[in-house]
Amino acid sequence: MNTPTPGLPAIDLNLPERKKAEREALRLLPVPEDQPAIFQAILDHAPLAIWMVDAQGRMRFVSRSLCDATGIAEDRFLAAAHYTDLLPAAVAAACRQADLECLAQAALHHAQTWLNFVDGHAHLLEITRVGLRDQEGGVRGIIGLATDVTEPIEHEKQLEHIAHYDALTGMPNRALLADRLSQALARAKRDRGLLAVCHLDLDGFKAVIDGCGHAVGDRVLVEVTRRIKETVRADDTVARLGGDEFVVLLVGLEVTEECVGSLHRMLESIQQPIAVDGTMLQLSASIGVALYPADEQDAETLLRHAHQAMCLAKQWGRNRYHLFDAASDLRARSHHELLQQIRHGLGRGEFELHYQPKLELRTRRLVGAEALIRWNHPQRGQLLPADFMRTAENTELEVELGDWVVAAAVEQLRQWQQAGFEIQLSINISAYHLQSPGFVDKLAACARQGDTCLQRLQIEVLETAALEDIAAIGALIKACRQFGVGFALDDFGTGYTSITYLSKLDVDTLKIDQSFVRDMQQSRADHAIVQGIIALARAFEMHIVAEGVETETHYQALLQMGCEVGQGNGIAPPMPAAELVAWRGLQPA
């Protein structure tokens, strides 16, 4: 005899009725008549939960797997007036409804139900029911089969989370952002609302990585994410694109000022110091913003516009935001297109050097020339540096153009040397190019060719550029001078070079900026500046070159002040190499 379960009628599992019930259950199932014991064992040990109820809902059979999973003994199932009496109310109601639906249809019935197991967790069961029609067509009961699909469902959720959320910060990633932005854009169009796409990039994050390592960088990113989340509303989206780039989607805005307020809060919060292992780190952010419907574009274009605006915010000083506008977009596209044309022009040999003579004022003898780049554009004709060089500033393309100028100038000096035409040739090199990796090595390679061309090459560096990093520029000048290369400070007088700084730069020539030369006859201040620069050059035993000699009056005034060399259109404009040789033949010996 089994111990009766409190609250339930006792049942003697050894009574003939129990055996009769089992035989009846097995009879209702398609069991081979000669193998009932084997089939019973299969049912009891099947990974699927299997049960059978009669038309009144009494359990006629239950597999051991279901009893073990639920913690409900077999005898309790079989003794209950209705099997759902042992289940929680919500589950019982769902099962009763599913049984009725199964009995009412002539097909398999499928349903899903959450049920608490003895392991303390809720499991999702996928249940298939099939009704049993006796020979007269009456209902005899239902067979149910349940499969635990919790693990694959949870695994699917994990995969979905990995696919849509950033592993470090837990924020939506690029894929989920695209979906949310598309939905928000559709909603804004329908409701005639306002939304803002904000592309945020941290300022100074690379220095954190270089100085403290990636582990600290990750902690900083997590903290920055938390701060951004605190500045926006629950309906807004904060997504991490990767690295230190984020996109914040502000939705449901009434006026633009709401967006501006959020941007100020973001900037203020991010720039507060971050404590990591006793070290105080401080960052800022550059934010670009595209507003809909002011920028009435699709989702992808809005993201691109926000990124372009962020780049401008970073260029214009960082720790600020910039709102995208169509004019800046047009400029950006034109800028990119011109960069591509320059690169293609280099490959097709469309560039050449023109040479502007430098005369010794006292003797009118040709002593040098300045090489100036020209672009023979296939559609626009010959372009001056002002038409394209600014586009390439501080880019790798500027280095490529500068390398081409150096190579072309050295080759021209080599050809002139072979023809017995020896003058000093100056070229303009930007500070960015001068400080680019390998600049000195490239000059060294020229020097190793064995000729003396570099001894007649002079590099002109803008005074203002040299002042940005006196120590670095000074070291590079010193390294290049070992190959015989000369250096001149171009546009001298426009910066704020002190005598102390000038003594630290190993330059041999000062070039007076043309703006002072042009107006020195009308402006006493400009006249004094020109005279002062000439005196300064003499004191430091440097050569002096005056730009902007446009008239004979300029020529004579500079000569009287003791200026050594002049150049300008009043002497001769820039010209191709062959014309310079011919022009020289016309000058006094």
Sheet holding 237-242, edge to edge: 237-242, 245-253, 194-203, 284-292, 320-323
Domain of residue 546, CATH code: 3.20.20.450
Q: Is residue 7 situated within a structural domain?
A: no
Task: Report the C-alpha gap between 251 and 188 in whole angstroms.
Answer: 8
Question: Is 299 within a domain?
Answer: yes
- pLDDT of 330-367, one tens digit each? 776 787 788 899 999 999 999 999 999 999 999 999 99
Task: Examine residue 535 and state whether it is found in any structural domain, yes or no.
Answer: yes
Angstrom CA distances, 371 to 374, 377, 425, 459, stand at 10, 19, 7, 10
Strand pairing of 457-462 and 424-428?
parallel
- Hey, which bits of 342-456 come out as E strands? 351-360, 365-377, 381-383, 424-428
Which residues lie closer than 8 Å to 76 by C-beta, 6 or more apart? 5, 8, 86
Model confidence at 40, pLDDT cuts 50, 70, 90, reads low
* pLDDT for 39: 56
Residue 11 has pLDDT above 50, yes or no: no
Residue 44: the pLDDT is 63
> Can you give the pLDDT at residue 107?
81
pLDDT at residue 574, rounded to an integer: 96
Is residue 130 situated within a structural domain? yes
Same structural domain, 495 and 545: yes
Query: Using an 8 Å Cβ cutoff, are 347 and 313 in contact?
Result: no
Eight-class DSSP state of 120: S
- Mean pLDDT (the chain) is 86
Peptide bond just before 293 cis, omega within 30 deg? yes
> What's the pLDDT score for residue 4?
33
pTM of the model: 0.53
Per DSSP, which regions of 361-456 are E strands? 365-377, 381-383, 424-428
Question: What would the mean pLDDT of 18-26 be, rounded to a whole number?
Answer: 47
Residue 431 pLDDT? 87
Written as one string, the DSSP assignment of 63-109 is -HHHHHHHT--HHHHHHSSSGGGGS-HHHHHHHHHHHHHHHHSSS-E
pLDDT for position 3: 35
Q: If you average pLDDT over residues 378-402, what whole number do you get? A: 92
pLDDT confidence of residue 451? 66
Residue 576 has pLDDT above 90, yes or no: yes
Same domain? 566 vs 426:
yes
Q: pLDDT: is 452 or 588 the higher one?
A: 452
Measure CA 157 to chain center.
Answer: 28
pLDDT value for 43? 65
Residue 37 has pLDDT above 70, yes or no: no
Domains in the chain, number: 3
Q: What percent of the chain has pLDDT over 90?
A: 50
Check residue 498 and give its pLDDT.
59
pLDDT of residue 31 exceeding 50: no
Cα separation, 52 vs 50, in Å, equals 7
Q: Are residues 434 and 400 in the same domain?
A: yes
Q: Tokens 């059979």 correspond to what residue?
A: 61
Task: Look at residue 61 in the predicted model and tell me its pLDDT.
Answer: 84
Neighbours of 391 (CB within 10 A): 17
Closest to 109 measured CA to CA, from 94, 90, 89:
94
| Whether residue 431 is found in the same domain as residue 494 | yes
Closest C-alpha to 306, from 323, 326, 294, 289: 289
Q: Pick from 92, 122, 153: which residue ends a domain?
A: 153
The model's confidence at residue 65, banded by pLDDT at 50, 70 and 90, is confident
Residue 10 in this model has a pLDDT that exceeds 50: no
Is residue 4 a part of any domain in this protein? no
My answer on whether 502 and 359 are in the same domain is: yes
CA 223, CA 205: separation in Å to the nearest integer?
Answer: 13
CATH of the domain at 293: 3.30.70.270
Q: 281-295, 501-515, 536-550: which has the minimum mean pLDDT?
A: 501-515
Q: Please, what's the largest Cα pairwise distance for the chain? A: 137
**Gap between the Cα atoms of 469 and 467, Å rounded:** 5
Angle between helices 396-418 and 577-585 (to 10 degrees): 40
Do 273 and 314 belong together in one domain? Answer: yes
Distance CA 114, CA 154 (A): 13
Residue 215 has pLDDT above 50, yes or no: yes
The region of weakest confidence among 2-6, 21-25, 418-422, 496-500 is 2-6
Collapse the DSSP code of 523 into the 3-class scheme (helix H, G, I; strand E, B; otherwise coil) and give the result: coil
Give the Cα separation of 250 and 236 in Å (integer): 5
**275 in the same domain as 146:** no
- Residue 330 in domain: no
Domain assignment present for residue 219? The answer is: yes
**pLDDT value of residue 450:** 65
Closest CA to 82 of 94, 69, 71, 96: 96
Structural domain includes residue 114:
yes
Answer whether residue 26 shows pLDDT above 60. no
- Which CATH number does the domain housing residue 142 bear? 3.30.450.20
User: Do residues 373 and 320 share a domain?
Assistant: no
Q: Is pLDDT of 30 > 70?
A: no
Position 384 confidence tier, pLDDT thresholds 50, 70, 90:
very high
In this predicted structure, the answer to whether residue 560 has a pLDDT above a threshold of 60 is yes
- Which domain-ending residue is among 126, 153, 180? 153
Above pLDDT 70, what percent of the chain? Answer: 88
pLDDT at residue 474, as a whole number: 87
Range in 16-20, 305-309, 504-508 the model is least confident about: 16-20
Higher-pLDDT residue of 267, 46? 267
- The H-or-E segment that residue 240 falls in is strand 237-242
* Res. 274 pLDDT band, cuts 50 70 90: very high
212-229 average pLDDT score? 94
CB 456 within 8 A of CB 490: no
Question: What pLDDT is attached to residue 21?
Answer: 46
Q: How far apart are CA 256 and CA 330, in angstroms?
A: 23
Average pLDDT over residues 13-30: 46
> Cβ distance 363 to 555 under 8 Å?
no
Beta strands in 72-227 (DSSP E): 109-116, 122-133, 139-148, 194-203
Contacts of 139 (CB under 8 A, 6+ apart): 55, 103, 131, 132, 133
Is pLDDT above 60 for 275? yes
Give residue-wise pLDDT tens across range 424-480.
Answer: 999 999 988 998 989 999 888 888 876 678 999 999 988 777 666 788 888 899 999
Question: Is 384 found in the same domain as 250?
Answer: no
- Give the residue numbers spanning the domain of 452: 337-585
Q: How far apart are CA 425 and CA 444, in angstroms?
A: 18
> Are residues 75 and 210 located together in one domain of the fold?
no
Whether the CB-CB separation of 354 and 372 falls below 8 Å is answered with yes
Give the integer Cα–Cα distance in Å for 234 and 509: 64
Cβ-proximal residues to 568 (8 Å cutoff; 6+ apart), any chain: 514, 517, 546, 547, 548, 549, 550, 554
What is the token pair recorded at 237? 């989206």
Instruction: Note the pLDDT tens digit of each residue in 299-336.
Output: 999 999 999 899 889 888 889 999 998 776 677 678 77
Within this chain, do residues 190 and 295 fall inside the same structural domain, yes or no?
Answer: yes
Residues 149 and 172 in one domain: no
CB 294 within 8 A of CB 253: no
Residue 493: pLDDT above 80? Answer: no
Beta carbons of 423 and 456 less than 8 angstroms apart: yes
